[in-house]
Chain A
């Protein structure tokens, strides 16, 4: 997969060190990544390796100590707004219904809310939440909340999707469903997407490219192009090629000394 055009997102030698009361914790060290237009890239790595910080730096929500992020050929300074973000905890506002939570995106951007109502309702329908528009977050399950959050990340039709472990807290069945929905939406809209995950299977199944990250201070250990035909169904997970990729990534983690196997996640 080689494209002659400049990558849409360029991360150039970014470093970030956090200061705690006692010590300096280097989270990211001279990390460089390119993501092409319309590409689905996953970052897989051990917990606390700085993936979330990297996402926030790409989105311009966190300043890097060194290095730069270039999107659409322009250096990111301050929040980059042509994107949709998904967080691990959905981050729905308790006092807003599903629909109102999605439309927060529109209100904040001072876009015409009335016109986007239909878009939001249509997105809800696409993720199987027909009839849940007027429900409050406390009336929804974890998976439903993540679906609403996904709609919120998409409603303004951004160029870029940053998904920071959005399905990490979901059970396996819901997670498969979410992956399926995400793939379908991605195939339809072809957004440039960066997904942070701890799940090797999820990363391989969803992505065009998987970046295997080292423990802190994080860097790319290996950049693996996933050559599996799309649309992918769950059967792909039994494909020898699929297993070759997951096995390979697992071996990289073993070599890196990540003894805690990445697919063992915090409960919830």
Chain B
């Protein structure tokens, strides 16, 4: 089974060192160049589509404006996502341990997910005003579902033999949860966190779009009203950067927490597919 992982792994590693990390940069550069060249070639007016070089210049010359407006957005993302984790994970745990609870909340959970949250946003403003609270709630609502679902999948995927093993060692429920069930669930839970954090950015933006007096979403709406397409693009640029930063922060945390697992063994052994 572990015949010669070293030789095969080194082949794929060499491939990685040569190409893998440059590949996304090359792709991005090619796309941006095409965009830049077409805008210049066809003389597209800036209020329709600004060239990427203009967008980048705008992003960094007006950084102070963007920085100030990004603070409320960042706060809403962090608080909303944090709340989704803090509420979603315990709900998932209860759902796994209690069949009654699972059946009770399942319908509500799915309703909350299929219901278009954009439709709720105006209500939130009626109820909670224009401040931070409606944004946090919207972010929470949108990022909550993948966390619950993936945590339930992870917590339920524990091997029954593993639980029997620790019970034969005299372990109680609590020990079995901390030492076996939770570690089993972590890879799947991180999957949910990664989906949720990208949703969280969207959630905050939706809330700011519908009604808010600050934030990048608010700036976006203002700029669009003034036909200031360049600012719209600059905001989008910053949002992309923020999205990436949050996503990779979660992934970095995942890599740290799961550092000892032999994941990607299929790739390391060159199993293909």
A residues adjacent to B (C-beta < 8 A): 56, 59, 61, 79-81, 83-85, 87, 89, 91, 93-97, 104-105, 107-109, 136-142
Contacts and interface: CB of A to CB of B under 8 A. Distances in A.
Contacts of A109: 169-170
Given A93-B162, A140-B2, A108 B262 contact: no
Contacts of A59: 164, 168
A106 B162 CA distance: 16
B159 interface: yes
B164 A56 contact: yes
A84 to B, nearest CB: 8
Interface of B: 1-2, 159, 161-162, 164-171, 175, 179-180, 183, 258, 260-262, 265
A107 B166 CA distance: 10
B170 A87 contact: no
B259 to A, nearest CB: 9
A95 B259 CA distance: 9
B169 A105 contact: yes
A141 B1 contact: yes
B169 A81 contact: yes
Contacts of B180: 93
Contacts of A83: 168
The 6 A-B residue pairs whose C-beta atoms are closest, nearest first, are A138-B262, A108-B169, A81-B170, A108-B171, A79-B167, A61-B164
Contacts of B2: 139-141
Contacts of A61: 164, 167-168
Contacts of A97: 260
Given A83-B168, A138-B262, A107 B162 contact: no
Contacts, number: 65
Nearest to A94: B261
A216 to B, nearest CB: 20
Given A109-B169, A139-B2, 15 more contacts: A61-B167, A79-B170, A81-B168, A87-B161, A89-B159, A89-B161, A93-B183, A94-B261, A95-B260, A104-B179, A108-B175, A136-B260, A138-B261, A138-B262, A140-B2
A155 to B, nearest CB: 10
Given A93-B183, A140-B2, A142-B1, A108 B166 contact: yes
A94 B170 contact: no
5 contacts: A81-B169, A85-B165, A89-B159, A108-B169, A109-B170
A210 B165 CA distance: 25
B99 to A, nearest CB: 16
Nearest to B2: A141
Given A56-B164, A108-B179, A140-B2, A94 B262 contact: yes
Contacts of B159: 89, 91
Secondary structure at chain B's binding surface: helix, strand, loop or mixed?
helix
Nearest to B163: A61
Contacts of B258: 95
B171 A139 contact: no
Contacts of B175: 108
Nearest to B268: A138
Contacts of B169: 81, 104-105, 108-109
Q: Which of B161, B162, B175, B180 has the most CB of A within 10 A?
A: B161
Nearest to A61: B164
B260 to A, nearest CB: 5
Contacts of A138: 261-262, 265
A172 B271 CA distance: 25
B212 to A, nearest CB: 43
B168 A85 contact: yes
Contacts of B167: 61, 79
Contact of B262 (A84, A136, A141): A136
Given A108-B175, A139-B262, A95 B183 contact: yes
Contacts of A137: 262
B161 A91 contact: yes
B243 to A, nearest CB: 30
Given A87-B161, A95-B183, A137-B262, A104 B166 contact: yes
Contacts of A108: 166, 169-171, 175, 179
Nearest to A108: B169
Contact of B168 (A79, A89, A139): A79
B254 to A, nearest CB: 13
Contacts of B179: 93, 104, 107-108
Contacts of B161: 87, 89, 91
Nearest to B164: A61
Contacts of A93: 162, 179-180, 183
